[in-house]
Amino acid sequence: MVGRYHSIPPPGAQARLLPRLLPARKGRRLKTADLAGKGGPLREDTAEDHQDQERRRHTARILRGIRLRVLHLALFWTLVSGGLAWLPTLPLPRTTLLALQGLIWLAGCALTLLAGRRMVHDARDHLRTEQILRENEVEFRTTLNATTVGLFRLRNLHFDFVNATLAEMMGYGVEEFLTLSPMDVVVPEQRDMVRQNSIRRAEGEPGYPYQLTFLRKDGGTFIGQVWSKRILFRGKPCTVGSIVDISARIEAEQEMRRMVNALAASNLELERFAYVASHDLQEPLRAITSFSQLLERRLDGRLDAEAAEYLRFIITGGKRMHALVNDLLAFSRVAHKGSPFQLVSCDDSVAMALQTLQDSIRDSHAVITVGRLPMILADAMQIEQLFQHLIGNAIKFGQPGKVPHIRIGADREQDEYHFRIEDDGIGIPPEYHTEIFSVFRRLHKGPAYPGTGVGLAICKRVVERHQGRIWVSAMPAQGSCFHFTLPAPDGATPPC
């Protein structure tokens, strides 16, 4: 009986009962998530509670096993002593009695040695388990102190645990910090907020991140993001939480906001300057062009060839400058002279654009196919302008000697409409797909493809003002397809 009794399970069963106390037997090291209960959220105890409970239970099993073995040995030797005293009364030869007594003594000694060996094994196993627990505790605390997040535990609004990171963040030693309360490390105007949050945690309200301004030991301050939660620790309520220094992040965000505001103000001034300059330049340019043309008519036939050519240069340059100013003014008006958004029929906008382009359509014999287009919430004039530029480009950049075929359509994609204007023209090399939307960027110069290079920049600005996107898919000599998206108004019907 004594030899078969085990106060603790054999190694295989023990590994099943103590998966977190003897991790080395499973070929892995102890993890913080294991101590916290397989990585789940803290419920009514912490990793430290769980470790202490396991240690106490294991120690109790060892001591209980040793006491039982001692009791069994005492009972066994009591029985042996009674048996030895009873043997001489048996009617057996003396040699037989002596042999029986010797066997009983040998069996008792052997069982006593086995029991003692088992107790030594149990004690050694207990010491090994304690060593593993101590090593894991050191590793766990080292990890807590090495993290960049400050960790704390509060009981009755006083710190009873902080890691080294939090103490260093505040400029204190760990032992010194444990003598403080949250009120000692928060600026005075936010101490009431700390009290209110503590009351809400005590009432069971779930924790959420919030920001506090903390006082360092040297009098400096920093902004920290705090998270806290109410738990039971060793049977008593307390609050655990973390503090992250976000001063650098807040400063970077403020600097970025300052730069964005400064950039927005600068862009606004530039746009106002472009609008005013282009508006004010119209009148002198108109005068230059008009008087140059008047001079050309009056002096017709009286100027030599060179002078007549110079005069034509002046008139052509004036007209081009006038076109540039007009387009620049149109580009500026997208942001400064836009109308309020209203429900707009894209069918009507395309029809108006085609009417404006009727001369170009007639001269090129262009074939334009328009699908059913949706209603959108937009600036009607700007949407008409958008279609006019894109359809005009499709006509202008058709392949020489070929009738342009242009297809216009739209599809509903989640909460926006995807418009397509596709042609079979000369196409655009892939390396210029982004560049063509810049102001004054022209891929084709000369009389064959007139223009100022502002049209697609206006299209981009119109689409972006309507919270959409614009891009192109095209290859040289294979035509182009301009895509843009516009938000779908609530309750809008998709195009058929």
User: Tell me, what CATH number does 477's domain have?
Assistant: 3.30.565.10
**Domain end point (choices 224, 245, 266):** 245
49: pLDDT confidence band, cut at 50, 70 and 90?
low
Distances (CA, A) of 145 to 75, 150, 239, 466: 53, 8, 19, 52
Arithmetic mean of pLDDT, 199-205: 74
Cα dist from 44 to 51, 155, 201, whole Å: 14, 15, 14
Identify the pLDDT of residue 484.
Answer: 96
User: Which amino acid would we find at residue 168?
Assistant: E
The confidence band for 82, taking pLDDT boundaries of 50, 70 and 90, is: low
Q: Domain for residue 38, yes or no?
A: yes
Both 213 and 258 in a single domain? no
- Give the separation between CA 235 and CA 182, rounded to whole angstroms: 23
User: Which residues on neighbouring strands pair with residue 315, listed in sequence order?
Assistant: none
pLDDT for res 394:
93
Classify strands 405-413 and 210-215 as parallel, antiparallel or unpaired. Answer: unpaired
Report whether pLDDT(243) > 60.
Answer: yes
Q: Which string of DSSP letters, residue by residue, matches 67-104?
A: HHHHHHHHHHHHHHHHHHHHGGGSS--HHHHHHHHHHH
Give the pLDDT confidence score for residue 256 in this predicted structure. 92
Same domain for 136 and 164, yes or no, is: no
pLDDT in tens, 10-29: 444 333 333 333 333 333 33
In this structure, the answer to whether residues 390 and 354 fall within a common structural domain is yes
127 shares a domain with 100: yes
The per-residue pLDDT for 203 is: 73
pLDDT at 420 over 90: yes
Between 83 and 428, name the one with better pLDDT: 428
- Of the chain, the percentage scoring pLDDT greater than 90 comes to 26
Whether residues 344 and 493 share a domain: the answer is: yes
**Same domain flag for 432 and 470:** yes
Q: How far apart are CA 385 and CA 355, in angstroms?
A: 12
| Last residue within a domain, chosen from 318, 337, 356 | 337
Shared domain check, 493 and 372: yes
351 in the same domain as 309: no
Distance CA 281, CA 270 (A): 16
- Alpha-carbon distances, residue 308 vs 312, 317, 319, 489 (angstroms): 6, 14, 17, 58
Which pair of tokens denotes residue 154? 């509060």
Q: Are residues 60 and 135 in the same domain?
A: yes
Q: 1 in a domain, yes or no?
A: no
Q: How many domains does the chain have?
A: 4
- Comparing 74-83, 130-139, 264-273, 416-425, the range with the smallest average pLDDT is 74-83
Q: What is the rounded distance in angstroms from the CA atom of residue 180 to the CA atom of residue 186?
A: 11
The predicted structure's pLDDT at residue 27: 38
pLDDT of 367-403, one tens digit each? 999 999 999 999 998 999 999 999 999 999 998 889 9
378 and 304 in a common domain: no
CATH of the domain at 183: 3.30.450.20
Q: Residue 32: name the closest of 201, 151, 183, 115 by CA.
A: 151
59 is a domain residue: yes
E strand segments, 379-457:
405-413, 416-422
Residue 110 tokens read as: 């052997």
* 328 part of a folded domain: yes
| Token pair belonging to 31 | 């993890």
Close Cβ partners of 164 (under 8 Å, ≥ 6 residues apart): 145, 174
Q: Are 242 and 227 in contact (CB under 8 A)?
A: yes
> Cα angle vertex 455, ends 494, 399, to 5°?
85
- What was the pLDDT predicted at 319? 79
Residue entry with tokens 């090593």: 135
Residue 414 φ/ψ, nearest 5 degrees: 55, -115
Q: State the Cα torsion 389-391-393-394 to the nearest 10°.
A: 170
Six-digit token string for 49? 């509670």
Domain hosting residue 301, numbered range: 251-337
In a domain, 3, yes or no: no
Q: Which of 117-131, 156-170, 194-208 is the most confident on average?
A: 156-170
Does residue 40 carry a pLDDT above 50? no
CATH number at residue 325: 1.10.287.130
- What's the pLDDT tens digit per position in 120-145? 776 777 677 777 777 777 776 777 77
Q: Rounded to two decimals, what is the model's pTM?
A: 0.49
Q: Is residue 2 part of a domain?
A: no
Report pLDDT for 33.
35
pLDDT tens-digit map of 92-121: 676 776 676 666 667 667 766 676 677 677
Residue 123 counted as domain residue: yes
Within-domain flag for 4: no
Angle between helix axes 94-146 and 47-86 (nearest 10 degrees) is 170
Q: Provide the CA 492 distance to its chain's centre, in angstroms.
A: 32
Give per-residue pLDDT as tens, 285-326: 788 888 888 888 888 878 888 888 888 888 888 877 777 777
**Same domain assignment for residues 239 and 345:** no
| Closest C-alpha to 152, from 214, 205, 102 | 214
Final residue in a domain of this structure, among 181, 212, 245: 245
Q: Which residue has the tokens 């003594």?
A: 105
Residue 364 sits in the same domain as residue 481: yes
- pLDDT confidence of residue 31: 39
Helix (H) or strand (E) holding 342: strand 342-345
